[in-house]
Amino acid sequence: MGRAGHRVGFLLVTTSAVAWSLGGLFTRLIPLDNWTMLAWRGIFGALGVAAAMLALPQQRSVWQSLRAMGWLGWLFVVQSAAGMIFYLKALRHTTVANVAVIYATAPFLAAGLGWVVMREKPSTSSVIASLAALAGVAVMVGFGRPGGLMGDLFALGMTWSMASTMVVARNYRDVPILLTACISSLLSGLVSWPFGAPLAVTGHQLLLLALFGIVNFAIGLPLFTYGARLLPAIETALIGAVDAPLAPLWVWLAFNETPSASTVIGGSIVFCAVAIHLIVGESTRFRAPPAAREQSGP
């Protein structure tokens, strides 16, 4: 993969992180229970992805893509939908702080999976930057906050789901990304439907829920999985960590809620870790060897 491909991957994953970071803002704007939001978000997200599939030129029909998915494609669908459910269950059984810190370990879990599946050794700068990002998230949410063991396990399951998504997207290029994103989004919505009150929403709430689903699923999930194909798994997870400091930023802009000093300091650490890694990593990753530079001439 060349420099151009790496930059495209960075742009796609960064955009997906921005899209996902708006989840907290939508949650504040829509006064509904989590199950109802998950139900409509999944359904509207599936409709948005389906619309994108119809608008983009397809190399093969939906039916052909379904037949070509295989067991790995369906496993990808199930674990992606499960990750969204695990995220909700984690928030209901433990603190937001615990969920944030556990998810910040995604780069290390992705690096381990990447090494097992692809023998992809993470760079030193990726590991150092991931440690710095983890420290930044820890500063943001604070230390020593109690949580529930069951909720922490759900958060770990969600983190495992995201890490495996990165590895599968990078290593198995035959998996149809848009189709799997559409099915997993629909599956998460249908599973959540019976546990909420989706028919009790107002017209205004339905409009916000449609925007929530389109931004989170129809935009965030496909961009993330496409970008993950172009980047090492640990780097994908590291860039995705900017979700944590961006989320309170949107709430501050919309509701004028001044973030705490720990949020500002921790978020700055995360941003700096990602930025420094990208600058240092790109300068070393694509640096031509001395022999090649001598042969290329002036």
- Model confidence band, residue 202 (pLDDT cutoffs 50, 70, 90): very high
Nearest to 14 by CA among 284, 283, 280, 270: 270
Average pLDDT over residues 98-105: 69
What's the mean per-residue pLDDT of the chain? Answer: 77
Rg (CA), the chain: 20
- pTM value is 0.74
Instruction: Give pLDDT tens digits for 144-161.
Output: 455 567 777 887 888 888
- Dist CA 225 CA 77 (whole Å): 12
Cα–Cα dist 263/266, whole Å: 5
Give the chain as a 3 state SS string.
Answer: CCHHHHHHHHHHHHHHHHHHHCHHHHHHHCCCCHHHHHHHHHHHHHHHHHHHHHHCCCCCCHHHHHHHHHHHHHHHHHHHHHHHHHHHHHHHHCCHHHHHHHHCCHHHHHHHHHHHHHCCCCCHHHHHHHHHHHHHHHHHHCCCCCCCHHHHHHHHHHHHHHHHHHHHHHHCCCCCHHHHHHHHHHHHHHHHHHHCCHHHCCHHHHHHHHHHHHHHHHHHHHHHHHHHCCCCHHHHHHHHCCHHHHHHHHHHHHHCCCCCHHHHHHHHHHHHHHHHHHHHHHHHHCCCCHHHHHHHCC
pLDDT at 204: 93
Of 87-91, 161-165, 205-209, the one with minimum mean pLDDT is 87-91
Q: pLDDT (tens digit, 9 = 90+) per residue, 116-140?
A: 766 667 677 777 877 887 787 777 6
* Cβ neighbours around 8 below 10 Å, total: 17
For 226-249, what is each residue's pLDDT tens digit? 888 888 777 887 887 777 778 778
Token pair for 4: 């151009």
> What pLDDT does residue 291 have?
45
The more confidently predicted of residues 147 and 10 is: 10
Mean pLDDT: which of 101-110, 155-164, 168-177 is highest?
155-164
| Of 155, 136, 122, 176, the residue nearest 267 (C-alpha) | 136
pLDDT at 7: 83
For the chain, give the percent of residues with pLDDT over 70: 80
Q: Does position 17 have pLDDT exceeding 80, yes or no? A: yes
* Whether residue 44 has pLDDT greater than 80: yes
Q: Residue 60's pLDDT is what?
A: 59
The percentage of residues in the chain with a pLDDT greater than 90, rounded to a whole number, is: 11
Question: Over 90: is that where the pLDDT of 270 sits?
Answer: no
The backbone torsions φ and ψ at residue 197, rounded to the nearest 5 degrees and listed phi first, read: -130, 65
90 has pLDDT over 70: yes
Task: Supply the pLDDT for residue 186.
Answer: 92
Q: Hunting for tokens 């199950």 — which residue is that?
A: 35
